[in-house]
Structure 1
Amino acid sequence: MNLLIMGLPGAGKGTQAAKIVENFQVAHISTGDMFRAAMANQTEMGQLAKSYIDKGELVPDQVTNGIVKERLAQADIREAGFLLDGYPRTIEQAHALDETLKELGLSLDGVINIQVDPACLLERLSGRIIHKETGETFHKVFNPPAGDYNEADYYQREDDKPETVKRRLDVNIAQGQPIIEHYRAQGLVHDIEGNQDIKDVFAAIQTVLTNLK
């Protein structure tokens, strides 16, 4: 079974990807892992990626696509299938993936799209606060400090501030929408309600994947 998982930051994509891999025994292909493995194994594309990363530059699509192709060409993929996580990030990468799969004689069986209202994600992602003295992490809504805490004793990382989170979500929505539409046109997208208990989200995914097998 060859799958793709999509979802905005904070939608629980990572948690559900781990559950899919564990329960359906497919190879988990995440962008970060792929880059690290390609560089460690000193593959042609891995060395090329390293040359950009060492200079502090963004790795071009051509190299990223090449690393994905190297990984998808490995033997375990034909035996177990795969779950792509974190790729494609742009519509150009989606088109490149179409070509790669065609060249390798593979095809996608489904795209799991975990949907959560961006307003909920903004609350979820921008509520993290850290105690200045102890470094303990809390969440204003879901895991607040005990009692009437003094906000002056806590701080937020730049990444967690509402305006930063909103920008990140906006970028992800703008990039992700054309990709979802691309796969929806192929009849591959399965929308999953992500704003529910983790177990219920996975139960919905499990139903979809069991029907795909």
Structure 2
Amino acid sequence: MKKSIRRIAVVAGAGAAAFGIAVAPASANASTVWTVNPTPANYTATNSGNIMLTANIPMTCTTSGASGTMASNTGNPSQVATISAINFGTATTPCTSLLGNVTTVATTPWKIMAKDYNASTGVTTGYVDGISAKVSAGACVFTVTGKASGTYTNSTGILAVNSVSGELTVTSATNCGTVVTTSTKPTFKGNYAVKVSGTSTIPTIKGSNP
């Protein structure tokens, strides 16, 4: 029996590794003190690669930018930054989809929330909260609300947004037929390079539990 249990454990571990699943215990002490440097600070963020919003059909933006403020805070989860403005596409580089060009109008502020910090990698794990946006793709118009999981890496200044199904919801849809409905579960993915406004300085976020 012990050999069988050992064999199952080995196979399970190998399977997890094959699928890139991290088999590790959760942090014993979640961060409750969040140190942002510099603080407070205004920041700007510019997309690094395409930004993707998928609501049954993919919508691609080659240009996107955001701005807001960031500051040290306490708690878990804890708000470490505010997105006061965010745009998707421009008049000359619109976002695109199979339904036609896509226009997205965000209702801000959105909040960047920190939950966990890995001191060895300098990566903060959390999510963008309070997302609300009206999306028009051709004649189809729908509203997206919710949150999107993400990470922030101190060494690169990259805010990587990588939502999972169920975090965002469609609260209303008009002229979308069965393509986009209130049952649709959109996803929002993309990387943003963050800098202190007017500089080339990459801000850092560090969590601790004194």
Q: TM-score, normalization: structure 1?
A: 0.24
**Bigger helix share:** 1
Structure ranking higher in strand proportion = 2
